[in-house]
A and B are shown apart, each in its own frame.
Chain A
Amino acid sequence: MFEAVLSNGSTLKKIFEGIKDLCTDVNFDVSSEGIKLQAMDSSHVSLVSLELHTDVFEQFRCDRDSMTLGLNMKSVTQIFKICGNDDSVTMRAEDEGETLEFTFEKGEDRVSTFELKLMDIDSEHLGIPDTEYQCNVKLPCSEYQRICRDMAGFGDNMTIDCQKGGVTFSVDGEVGKGKIFLKHQPNVEEKHKVIVTVKEGVELDFALRYLNNFAKAAPLSDHVQLGLNSDTPLSVRFDIEDKATLGSLKFFLAPKIKE
């Protein structure tokens, strides 16, 4: 049997909101270590990787070595509309069960339950190596969200140019070109901090449609971390409640290849 209780149900709600427009069906891979999810978008240029460690849950039980729970994202987000922001969530599935039961509770006054039919989803797991990035950028989620939204008005692709001292986001579209520079700002108050760590400068182009999609996970944490290496996928990482010990939601995006 699998049973997990999360007092802060909105965390799960935010996770599903963050991935629902990228993936239609996903597998929840449950083990005694927690929950993992890996899924690609339909065009196979981006990858979502979720890790929820048991520390994020108040209670966690998985009797089997592993269980795979196939979820339709549209149905899950529909179910999570039932979940209030202060509700706790309990997920429960029998070993050979065909459903995942969600219970949303606020105290003992209001208890809602929904049994979701599980799906059989074929998915291949890719091996994501532990990568040391040439450039790491930590910036407020609100800033990331704003840059991607504003730049999407001018073009389809955005160049991220990371150099010592700061990072430049630029777009070159039909009406003209523009750029936004964020300076390495380690000594300001936490919510405005921008940390740019560079071993070697990297400049890459990415599709704004995907960068904007990843921004939907912004409510999960205060800061987002970008990892860049030349000619490898960009990593966009949201630590759950800004604590890597609880887990993370990571997105990977293949760079545009310049002609």
Chain B
Amino acid sequence: KPGQKKIESYFALP
């Protein structure tokens, strides 16, 4: 099954 990265890995913490 294809996986999914966490949304945090796309949007940096400011």
Interface residues of A (CB under 8 A from B): 40, 44-47, 124-129, 157, 205, 207, 232-233, 252-259
Cα A40 to Cα B3 in complex, Å, equals 18
Interface residues of B (CB under 8 A from A): 2-14
Contact, CB under 8 Å: A45 / B4: yes
CB of A252 within 8 A of CB of B7, answer yes
Contact between A257 and B4, CB atoms less than 8 A apart: yes
**A255–B9 CA distance with the chains assembled, in angstroms:** 12
How far does the Cβ of B11 sit from chain A's closest Cβ, in whole Å? 4
Indicate if the CB atoms of A256 and B2 lie closer than 8 Å: yes
Across the interface, which residues of B come within 8 angstroms of A259, CB to CB?
Answer: 2
Q: For the complex, what is the distance from the CA of A207 to the CA of B4, rounded to whole Å?
A: 9
The main secondary structure of chain A at its interface with chain B is: loop
Let me know if B11 and A127 touch, CB within 8 A: yes
Query: How many Å lie between the Cα of A157 and that of B11 in the bound state?
Result: 23
Q: A125-B13, A127-B13 are in contact. Are A47 and B7 (CB under 8 A)?
A: yes
Q: Which residues of A contact B12 (CB under 8 A)?
A: 126-127
State the CA gap A157–B3 with chains docked (Å): 11
Chain B residues whose C-beta falls within 8 Å of the C-beta of A46 in the assembled complex: 7
Q: Roughly how many angstroms separate A47 CA and B5 CA in the complex, as a whole number?
A: 13
Q: How far is the CB of A231 from chain B (nearest CB, A)?
A: 9
User: Among B4, B5, B9, which residue has the most Cβ atoms of chain A within 10 A?
Assistant: B4
In the bound assembly, the distance between CA atoms of A256 and B10 in angstroms comes to 13
